[in-house]
Amino acid sequence: MHTLAAYYPDNPTPKQKHELSTFLRLFASLFPCRTCGEDFERIIRKNPPKLEDRKAASLWMCMAHNAVNEHLGKPPFDCSLENLDKRWKRKPA
């Protein structure tokens, strides 16, 4: 999911926004761990995905992941765009 956000367009079309939104909802619905999927559905309902551009999508994914980390008692990930790009956006060789 983080890699999808890292390569999401800076100026996505309405279709791209719709497709990523649908993907996230299906991901939550189809996740093998039912409790985990329901938790992710709650995150989406409480804070709907921000899909207006790559930066917003990347930051939203990190926020959602950190919500899961908090629930699991894990430390948060640094959600600066620079850090996210360093971790998830690989330049082609």
What are 52's two structure tokens? 């207006």
Asked if the structure places residue 53 within a domain, the reply is: yes
Which domain does 36 fall in, by range?
A: 2-88
pLDDT tens by residue, 4-50 = 999 999 999 999 999 999 999 999 999 999 999 999 999 999 999 99
Q: What sign does the CA torsion over 62, 68, 71, 73 have?
A: negative
pLDDT tens by residue, 45-70 = 999 999 999 999 999 999 999 999 99
CATH of residue 23's domain is: 1.20.120.310
Count how many domains the chain has: 1
- Residue 84 CB neighbour total at 10 angstroms: 21
What pLDDT shows up at residue 41? 96
Asked if the structure places residue 13 within a domain, the reply is: yes
Type of residue numbered 80: S
Asked if the structure places residue 93 within a domain, the reply is: no
